[in-house]
Amino acid sequence: MTLIDGKAIAQEVRNEIRDEVAEWVAAGNEAPGLATVLVGDDPASAVYVGGKQKACAEVGMRGFDHRLAADTSEAEVRALLHQLNADPAVSGILLQLPPPPHIDGPKLTEEIAPGKDVDGLTPISTGLLHKNLPGLRPCTPLGCMELLKRHDVDLSGAEAVVVGRSDLVGKPISALLLQANATVTTAHSRTKDLAEVCRRADVLVAAVGVAHLIKGDWVKEGAVVIDVGMNRLDGKLTGDVEFEAAAERARLITPVPGGVGPMTIAMLLRNTLQAAKAAAAV
């Protein structure tokens, strides 16, 4: 069994992006800029946004860190998003999810200009993804694909099983795996005999958000296991997969933490650079 070191691969990607940004700026372009919008004072969200801003600075991008009070109205957030849409220094916009309960996060996300949608979550980006047209793809699914790519996992004709059908991860990663010519099954809470479905996977992606739902003996001998889960259990971060038992059967497996998580931020930076280049091309 080989551990997939997401932290190390994310650092590799970040170094590559830093070089590309330097090249882009040396050619006379403005540095790409990432605007983050955080509504409310959830401490975990503040840590995530801080991490994204720090990562931005490290690769030579500009950061615009917008923090709004918890009682900010939906109209005020919408107005800020429109202002960022119109600002040429802003290449990418990220509305940190979830916002406070009086704000509809997915609906407000729709206000982000498709060219600046570095989370890849607007309906336009979703349509472009499903038609395999150029556009911005969601960061966590991109991060999973990058881990598979850097480990030379052959997806063509492979049986891929994705557990979870969220707009954020399950659906988009199923689409990306299908485009890579895998035979894709998207399983979920209503799937009959989930254990048997998982057992046929050459590539098993767990994205349900339930700690240790995927048991070790659901993993086929020699399978590749990608654990997208981020669950708090007894104060510790843990995945959707029963890691120790799964690792005995898997050929490759991601740990939590240190697997998919760090890749999400690396792909956000890549999307921001892609958005900056696309904006300059028009």
Q: Which residues are catalytic?
A: 52, 96, 119
Whether 164 has a binding-site annotation, put simply, is yes
Spatial separation of the C-alpha atoms in residues 203 and 84, rounded to whole Å: 39
Q: Does 237 bind ligand GUE (CB under 6 A)?
A: yes
For ligand GUE, which is the closer residue by CB, 112 or 203? Answer: 112
H helical segments located in the chain: 6-26, 43-58, 74-86, 105-109, 123-130, 139-150, 170-179, 194-199, 243-247, 260-281
Q: Does 240 bind ligand GUE (CB under 6 A)?
A: no
For ligand GUE, which is the closer residue by CB, 4 or 223? Answer: 4
Cβ 155 vs Cβ 204: under 8 Å: no
Q: Cis check for the bond before 257: say yes or no (omega within 30 of 0).
A: yes
Please report, as residue ranges, which positions from 54 to 83 form the binding site for ligand GUE (by CB under 6 A). Answer: none
Whether 216 has a binding-site annotation, put simply, is no
Q: Which residue has the tokens 């509305």?
A: 95
Please report, as residue ranges, which positions from 29 to 48 form the binding site for ligand GUE (by CB under 6 A). Answer: 48
Q: Does 265 bind ligand GUE (CB under 6 A)?
A: yes
Any residues with CB less than 8 A from the CB of 237 and at least 6 apart, and which? Answer: 230, 231, 256, 257
Reduce the DSSP state of residue 33 to 3 states and report it.
strand
For ligand GUE, which is the closer residue by CB, 111 or 119? Answer: 119
Strand partners, 162: 186, 205
Q: Does 257 bind ligand GUE (CB under 6 A)?
A: yes
Whether 166 has a binding-site annotation, put simply, is yes
Cβ 216 vs Cβ 242: under 8 Å: yes
Residue 193 DSSP symbol? T
Of the candidate residues 262, 272, 274, 275, the single one contacting ligand GUE (CB under 6 A): 262
Q: Which one of the spans 58-66, 95-103, 144-152, 155-163 is the region binding ligand GUE (CB under 6 A)?
A: 95-103
Strand partners, 92: 34
For ligand GUE, which is the closer residue by CB, 46 or 280? Answer: 46
CB of 216 to ligand GUE, least distance (A): 20
Of the candidate residues 25, 31, 46, 97, the single one contacting ligand GUE (CB under 6 A): 97
Instruction: Give the residue closest to ligand GUE by C-beta.
Output: 261
Percent of the chain as helix, strand, coil, to the nearest 5: 45, 15, 40
Q: Does 258 bind ligand GUE (CB under 6 A)?
A: yes
Of the candidate residues 186, 254, 264, 272, the single one contacting ligand GUE (CB under 6 A): 264
Spatial separation of the C-alpha atoms in residues 115 and 25, rounded to whole Å: 20
What is the binding site for ligand GUE (CB under 6 A)? 48, 94-97, 119, 139, 230, 237, 256-258, 261-262, 264-265
Summarize the annotated binding site for NADP(+) as residue ranges.
Answer: 164-166
Summarize the annotated binding site as residue ranges.
Answer: 164-166
